[in-house]
């Protein structure tokens, strides 16, 4: 058995912090990002116009014409995308059409 120097302690290796284990641990966008703000604004608009969470989710999860992205993806990607999805929502509201 090896001798220890006085005043030192033995700490098991599992107690040391692992590199990279500090900081943000989730994969979502930070709340101050433009993507988060766009998503939040479009979600609120859809929720208010369509009358609830389920209707907003169904509308925003529809694929676009190409079928590659959802309407929420388009709204998050750019300010123009947000404007297009918001315009589509307002158009449905002005017509008074039921989506589902």
Residues 26-54: what's their mean pLDDT? 82
Higher confidence at residue 35 or residue 87? 87
pLDDT at 98 exceeding the cut of 80:
no
Does position 85 have pLDDT exceeding 90, yes or no? yes
Give 64's pLDDT tier (boundaries 50, 70, 90): confident
> Which residues, 6 or more positions from 4, have their beta carbon under 8 angstroms from its beta carbon?
10
Q: Comparing 11 with 88, which gets the higher pLDDT?
A: 88
Mean pLDDT for all residues in the chain: 76
Res. 12: pLDDT tops 60: no
Rounded to an integer, the average pLDDT of 7-16 is: 50
Region 71-84: mean pLDDT is 91
Between 60 and 33, the higher pLDDT residue: 60
Domain boundaries, the chain: 30-95
String of DSSP letters for the chain: -PPPPTT-----GGGSPPTT-SS----SPPTTSHHHHHHHHHHHHHHHHHTSHHHHHHHHTSB-TTSSSBHHHHHHH-HHHHHHHHHHHHHHHHHT----
End-to-end CA, the chain: 75
pTM score, whole prediction: 0.63
């Amino acid at each position: 058995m090896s001798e220890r120097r006085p005043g030192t302690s033995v700490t098991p290796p599992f107690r040391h912090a692992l590199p990279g284990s500090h900081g943000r641990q989730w994969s979502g966008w930070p709340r101050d990002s433009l993507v988060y703000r766009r998503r939040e604004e479009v979600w609120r608009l859809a929720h208010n116009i369509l009358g609830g969470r389920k209707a907003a989710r169904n509308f925003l999860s529809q694929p676009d014409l190409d079928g590659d992205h959802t309407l929420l993806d388009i709204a998050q990607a750019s300010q123009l995308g947000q404007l297009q999805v918001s315009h589509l929502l307002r158009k449905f509201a002005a017509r008074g059409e039921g989506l589902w």
